[in-house]
Structure 1
Amino acid sequence: MTSKREDIQYLEYVFGKFYDIGANSYGGVTRLGYSKVEDEMHDMFKYLGEEENFYTYIDEVGNTYVANDISDKEYYLLGSHLDSVVNGGRYDGVAGVIAGLLILSWAKNDKLDIPIRVAAFRCEESSNFGKCTIGSGLITKELTKDDVRGLVSKTGKSIIEIFNNKEYNLNPKKIENIKQYLELHIEQGKVLEEYDIKVGIVSDIAGPRRFSLCIHGEAEHSGATPMDMRQDALCAASEFILELERIGREEIYRKSVTTVGVISNGPNVLNVIPGEVNLGIDIRGIDIESLDSIVENMNIAIKDISQKRDVKFFLQEEGSFDPVKMSSYMQKKLIECSDKLKISHKIMPSGAGHDAMAFTKLCDSAMVFIPCYRGISHNKSEFSSLLSIYDGARVIYEYLKGEI
């Protein structure tokens, strides 16, 4: 086994290889899914694997793998992603990939007789196409060709054109022979840091329900239209936003959340009453009954506000995933490994979505969280220490050793 100092140096080395790819003048990185920058990230991952004399290959949708065994035996898949949001951070996704490389190197040095593959999945973030987990979703059949064929990137290229140019396949063969799936990821929240806990063992991944809401009022002169004769779409939107927040607060005990993250106001002119507002709604939770209740109450609020303010609401569902549970067996074993290594841990849900969601129907799956500074993620200030990545990797490696 290598020393802790050598392991941290290795993590520093591999992290540094990714550091400047997609860097921008704002201090963050932009590595959009299926872009040339994401290609560079995958090329570097492949290079790092080959540098250690591991096997490497790319599947039909562009996901890249580094492996110590590529026989037909069942294997343990350690995965995450290398893309980012626009002006995002350097740890989301990357932490899990470099932890996987470290675990592979430990297994090689210890002559661990267990097949391990580390995957870097394509386009986990929804930033480029408005749909998340495309690489992992296609190979697990959680997404189909029909689900993605109409997608268009930020630069106006269709996913069909991109796949044709790269000779990828929108209807790939389903991935096989995975014994178990494990993913290390930054928490993207404040809990672990707040309680000074080194790792989180994920119990569930929240399911998102996303909607677009268009509110039609009447655009009129702001000086000439009396207050009691207005159909102000922005005021109706404001009332709806606060009502959705109230509905979400009532579901705190079931760990659900509600967010309006997008507002488009028209005509957005100082002396014109807003006539049309478009909202983007993100509802998440680990309890399906809670999610159903939120959606039901949201629809009641829409009806009430529409009648009271004499404006029209048009609600459209943009996509949803049901919450998924991680393997209880793997959770129990990961807790035992954390205790054995004297690494503090906490069982916790994940509010964010991850590639792990795609694998829960195929095989037992688990996630290990590590702390990130102030819970900041999807932001240039995103940070997690290499020591935290090391601790999370140790827990996963201890688990793998126990599976022999």
Structure 2
Amino acid sequence: MPSLRPAIDGARLRKTLDGINAFGHNPQTGGYNRQGFSDADMAVRRWFEEEARTDGFKVRRDAAANVFVRYGPAEGPCVMSGSHLDTVPEGGAFDGALGVAVAWEALRAMRDAGITPAIAVEAVATAEEEGRFGGMLGSQAITGKVTRQWIDQATDATGETLAAAMRAQGLDPYAVLDAARPAGTIKAFVELHIEQGPVLEAGGTPIGIAHSVSGVSYIAARMEGRANHSGTTPMDMRADAFRGLADVAADIPSLIETIGTDQSRITIGKVDLEPNFPHTIPGIAEFTIIIRDTDESIMQALTDAVRASIESAARRHGLGHTVETKSWLAPVALDGRLEKLLGEEAKALGLAAQSMPSGAGHDAQTMQSLCPSALVFVPSRNGISHAPEEWTDWADIEKGAQLVLNALVRLSCETN
């Protein structure tokens, strides 16, 4: 281990995060719009590459638009840290972006302290983590989990295909199939992320260390009835698509109670009604359902139950229906040895740390299939995320950043 202990430069870290968030900001709402493969998303990647290259680091981008910044030996394996730069529509300033900024700051802090790691350290800004097209394309590309079939069928909520969105940015979607990193080239992956929940803040705990990540089942459903006049059509003679949707929504609490656990989540997140006019009975309801749990068997049971609920509601209201599974990300247990190492480093810093599951999906769960992976949380004010009100206090950010830095030094400088 090196005798020098590098320190996070909080002002420099803040400047990096502010630089990232100069892209895609909506001053009217306060939100950020860097959806995967949008113009703003690609622009922030170019900015990040240029900033790191100007600062003297080796920079590389792969076919999936993942950006890698490397410090240490030019050849051989690496220890990797980072997160994503893309956002949900009108997202917050910290989700993903903070993990990228912290990873790059860790590299600069190591260099400033004169530490030459035995194993290279790479900061990564992954692509399309927020699931615009139904997966976590960047980390799935790194781990070799992308298939041609998935590329061919992946679409966003508006119907735009992944292939079209990538080609619009000058990218070859099928080149992603060759972006996988070989086994053994990444020794460990450490991701810092805001918690996106209320647990750490409620407990006054500055650090969370995830032991597992919930899986995600993403369903797209359509119910089709008959659009008709709202005043002249009797209630018992309607084929109201919204009533079918409402019945499915009303079933959710009982499904959780009878099948689920305290880690189960079912969310109807996007709804489109047609013709969507005040005086017309809805003829079509299209909606998404996201199902999460840390136990894959429970997640599967809930998915099956939701499909049965849709079928039952459609039959009850005389509706046609289709249900499509857009993506399936299995729950993952993260690496226990990395969790222990992070706990030791937190203790050395005098930081209380809570072992906890992650209810949200993150790149770490995908990376675990390729290398030992860990996920560090810092508190979210009021548990809010995916919204302009998302906030993490700067004192908590610096604690989490220092923990990640210390862990990366230990992982990259130990030779045994």
CA contact (8 A) 1:217 1:275 kept: yes
Q: Which residue of 2 aligns with 1:166?
A: 170
Pair 1:314-2:322 in alignment? yes
Q: Distance in 2 between matches of 1:269 and 1:198?
A: 48
Q: Distance in 2 between matches of 1:294 and 1:85?
A: 25
For residues 211-360 of structure 1, the aligned pairs below 5 Å read 211-251=219-259, 253-360=261-368
The CA deviation at 1:347 is: 1.2
Equivalent residue letter for 2:143 = T
Q: TM-score, normalised by structure 2?
A: 0.88
Which of the numbers 201, 206, 211 marks the counterpart of 1:203?
211
Q: Distance in 2 between matches of 1:155 and 1:36?
A: 18
Equivalent residue letter for 2:240 = D
Q: Distance in 1 between matches of 2:161 and 2:260?
A: 40
Equivalent residue letter for 2:84 = H
Q: Which residue of 2 aligns with 1:376?
A: 384
Q: Which residue of 2 aligns with 1:44?
A: 47
Unaligned runs of 5+ in 1: none
Q: Distance in 1 between matches of 2:242 and 2:39?
A: 39
Pair 1:395-2:403 in alignment? yes
TM-superposition CA deviations, 1:74-125 (whole Å, max 9, x none): 2101121111122221211111111112211222215142420101112212
Equivalent residue letter for 1:56 = V
TM-superposition CA deviations, 1:129-183 (whole Å, max 9, x none): x333212212321112331245567696863573486355232242131001111
Q: Secondary structure at the match of 1:171?
A: helix
Which of the numbers 45, 53, 69 marks the counterpart of 1:66?
69
Q: Which residue of 2 aligns with 1:118?
A: 123
Pair 1:77-2:85 in alignment? no
CA contact (8 A) 2:380 2:390 kept: yes
- Of 175-184 and 208-217, deviating more is 208-217
Pair 1:92-2:98 in alignment? no
CA contact (8 A) 1:254 1:287 kept: no
The CA deviation at 1:388 is: 2.1
Q: TM-score, normalised by structure 1?
A: 0.91
Q: Which residue of 2 aligns with 1:133?
A: 136
Indicate how the Cα distance of structure 1 residues 384 and 338 shifts in structure 2: closer, same or farther if over 3 A, else same.
same
- Of 346-355 and 48-57, deviating more is 48-57
Q: Secondary structure at the match of 1:170?
A: helix
Unaligned runs of 5+ in 2: none
The CA deviation at 1:352 is: 1.4
Equivalent residue letter for 1:322 = A
Q: Secondary structure at the match of 2:176?
A: coil
Equivalent residue letter for 1:171 = L
Q: Distance in 1 between matches of 2:98 and 2:162?
A: 30
Q: Which residue of 2 aligns with 1:145?
A: 148
Q: Which residue of 2 aligns with 1:32?
A: 35
Indicate how the Cα distance of structure 1 residues 302 and 181 shifts in structure 2: closer, same or farther if over 3 A, else same.
same
C-alpha RMSD over aligned residues: 2.5
Q: Distance in 1 between matches of 2:190 and 2:162?
A: 32
**How many residues are paired up?**
401
Equivalent residue letter for 1:204 = S
CA contact (8 A) 1:249 1:257 kept: no
CA contact (8 A) 1:140 1:175 kept: yes
